[in-house]
Chains A and B, each alone.
Chain A
Amino acid sequence: MIRVVDPGPQTTVQDGGRRGQMRYGIPPSGPVDARSFALANRLVGNADGAAALEFTLVGPRFRAEAPCAIAVTGADSPVTVNDAPAASWTTLELAAGDAVKIGPVRAGVRGYVAFAGGVDVPPVLGSRSTYLRGRVGGLEGRALRRDDVLRLGAAPRARRRAVPASAIPGWRDTPVLRVVLGPQADRFTDEGIAAFLGGVYEVLPQSDRMGARLHGPRIAHARGHDIISDGIALGAVQVPGDGQPIVLLVDRQSTGGYTKIATVCSFDIPRVGQVKPGQRVRFTAVDVAEAQRLSRVASADIANVELQEIAS
């Protein structure tokens, strides 16, 4: 059992996400940075999609009420156990009464805390993920609060392991996000598409789990910015009338009526979720076949991350 001492600005329970509900207007939710999330779970011996915590910009403080193994990954944040510095991207064994504090991020945006056995909240519509706007999933459909108690699933004792340094992202670069143009690239002028692919876009503070709002060179429409409302895929780059792009993420609206110039490839979504407001991104276009080849490579890369055993 885990007792929350200070949840931080927005900490929620997430799992692999909710399937099959977008036709009813309910987005998948789940972690924005699914790669860091999966690695946190693997470090504590869980399946990649087990329920864990996602925090935003500042991590939570909590106390272990019983011995358990945890791991912190994602954004680069200072971790302490009983005020002594502890490693992230590493299995940590907690004793009953241990106090964990995860501080403000130094780089990146979203961090993950996985617990051996997973966070035991009831699945809603097939998932434990919290969808805050819909007040559904996780702990009573809301973010964590002080004094919340998280039950954990049963788990065998986790081996102590670490993600090798080569597999830990730094989050400080300007990422080049790969996109597939469309579904509505034909609604933009050639100059508009050139501006989008040639420009540098700054991430705005209004960004959240619904979408990353960007500011940069204006993307010109060829004939109006409204379309007959249609479905919005993960990573869709929506461009409303002001010509500034929004990359739609895991808590996105299921449908919408603005033109979508391109779609960020699934394997680059984790990176979008870690770009801090004020940092910048660029875009580059690939075709569908190339995107799907890169997707297989990215999946294999995650599957092949070899966790290093730590002598205890």
Chain B
Amino acid sequence: MRFLPAGDLALSVELGDDISVDVNTRVRALEFLIDQKALPGVVETVPTYRALLVYYDPAVIGYEPLCASLATLVEQASATAMPPAREVELPCCYGGELGPDLEAAARRLDLGVDELVRLHASAEYLVYFIGFTPGLPYMTGAPPQLTIPRLDTPRVKVPASSVAIGGIQCCVYSVESPGGFWLLGRTPLRLYDPGLAEPILLRPGDRVRFRAVERPEFDDIAARVAAGASRPVIR
């Protein structure tokens, strides 16, 4: 455990040196405990793979006392401290114009296209955190055969809702943005919809599965999403 200052209004608590489910679970559990105990002076928190950024009001609590309070909470920060994870199903239409890198990724991984889709859609992914753009989930969980170097040349524009892999990670682009992952397909759901009362679909700790759908079902769900009539399956 390390405490690092991030200016006069924030500090970073690092709970490990690697990207692992165990370390990230403790980060999220620490955030949960801070929320639950309404720790005085804490303004906002941002969980990532192995660190929690804690924004605080130094007029309420100083750096040293806050580090001490957080150190106590870290001892209790484990999966058992948190409510059960949500399970979210994301329909995904693989390949074609919605997944322009599917065939190249299959060749690179020495897999058949169908096999790649089957492997990707059969795994369960953990949302480590949300970042980079509004609502974008950083996930892992794909079987090891799907580990792939990032694209040599990142795209300047990736369409929103693209489902993509890079390294051991999987992500769904939440808004149109640059990106260096391989685009396997697209979900008809919106991970970020500023028109909704809750614009962000996924949360840190969610368990995500992809359900392969054909183009007609994709179009159907997309039309219902646009009309505000489709809800994602969340358990």
Which segment of B57-65, B77-85, B224-232 sits at the interface?
B57-65
Q: Please measure, in the bound complex, the distance between the C-alpha atom of A253 and the C-alpha atom of B14, giving whole angstroms.
A: 20
B18 to chain A, nearest CB (A): 8
The answer to whether A256 touches B51 (Cβ under 8 A) is: no
- A135 at interface, CB cutoff 8 A: yes
Given A136-B199, A183-B6, A233-B53, verify A288-B44 contact (CB < 8 Å).
no
Most B CB atoms within 10 A — which of A133, A255, A267?
A: A255
Residues of chain A lying within 8 A (CB to CB) of residue B138: 229
Residues of chain A lying within 8 A (CB to CB) of residue B48: 228-231, 255
Q: Please measure, in the bound complex, the distance between the C-alpha atom of A141 and the C-alpha atom of B175, giving whole angstroms.
A: 14
Q: Please measure, in the bound complex, the distance between the C-alpha atom of A25 and the C-alpha atom of B46, giving whole angstroms.
A: 9
Residues of chain A lying within 8 A (CB to CB) of residue B6: 180, 182-183, 231, 233, 236, 260, 263
Most A CB atoms within 10 A — which of B9, B18, B174?
A: B9
Most A CB atoms within 10 A — which of B6, B55, B58?
A: B6
- A26 at interface, CB cutoff 8 A: yes
The majority secondary structure among interface residues of chain B is: loop
Chain B residue nearest to A141 in the complex (CB): B194
The majority secondary structure among interface residues of chain A is: mixed
The answer to whether A253 touches B10 (Cβ under 8 A) is: no
Most B CB atoms within 10 A — which of A228, A232, A260, A294?
A: A228
Residues of chain B lying within 8 A (CB to CB) of residue A179: 7
- B91 at interface, CB cutoff 8 A: no
The answer to whether B49 touches A228 (Cβ under 8 A) is: yes
The answer to whether A234 touches B132 (Cβ under 8 A) is: no
- B188 at interface, CB cutoff 8 A: no
Please pick, from A231, A235, A294, the residue contacting B51 in the complex, using a CB distance under 8 A. Answer: A231
Residues of chain A lying within 8 A (CB to CB) of residue B204: 23
Please pick, from A26, A125, A234, the residue contacting B7 in the complex, using a CB distance under 8 A. Answer: A234
Q: Please measure, in the bound complex, the distance between the C-alpha atom of A223 and the C-alpha atom of B204, giving whole angstroms.
A: 30
Most A CB atoms within 10 A — which of B131, B192, B199, B204?
A: B131
- B130 at interface, CB cutoff 8 A: yes
Chain B contacts to A: CB under 8 angstroms:
4-10, 12, 14, 17-19, 31, 43-53, 55, 58-59, 62-63, 129-136, 138, 174-175, 192, 194, 199-200, 203-204
